Amino acid sequence: MIFKSHFITMLVYAIIVSVILALVRFKTKEEIIKAGLKMFLMMTGGVVIFSWLMYLI
């Protein structure tokens, strides 16, 4: 494993995926930045929420 933390690995993955999807899907610079940031925050937030749910189970 490259990183010692699964959370850091997930953040790197979320950055890569959100940048690529935003570049492929949107045309203007503003749309790309807005969509990329939104996707990154949604992926990161989803993982944090899901990990807390798994911890409580």
User: Per residue in 23-55, pLDDT tens?
Assistant: 999 999 999 999 999 999 999 999 999 989 988
Residues 6+ apart with CB under 8 A from 35: 18, 21, 22, 25, 26
- Residue 10 falls inside a structural domain: yes
Domain that holds residue 45: 6-56
- Residue 15 falls inside a structural domain: yes
Global pTM reads 0.83
pLDDT of residue 2: 80
Q: Structural domain tally of the chain?
A: 1
- Residue 31 falls inside a structural domain: yes
Element (H, E) at 30: helix 29-56
pLDDT of residue 1: 67
- Residue 49 falls inside a structural domain: yes
pLDDT of residue 23: 96
- The answer to whether the CB of 26 falls within 8 A of the CB of 44 is no
- Residue 1 falls inside a structural domain: no
Q: Of the candidates 13, 50, 20, 19, which has an alpha carbon nearest to the alpha carbon of residue 37?
A: 19
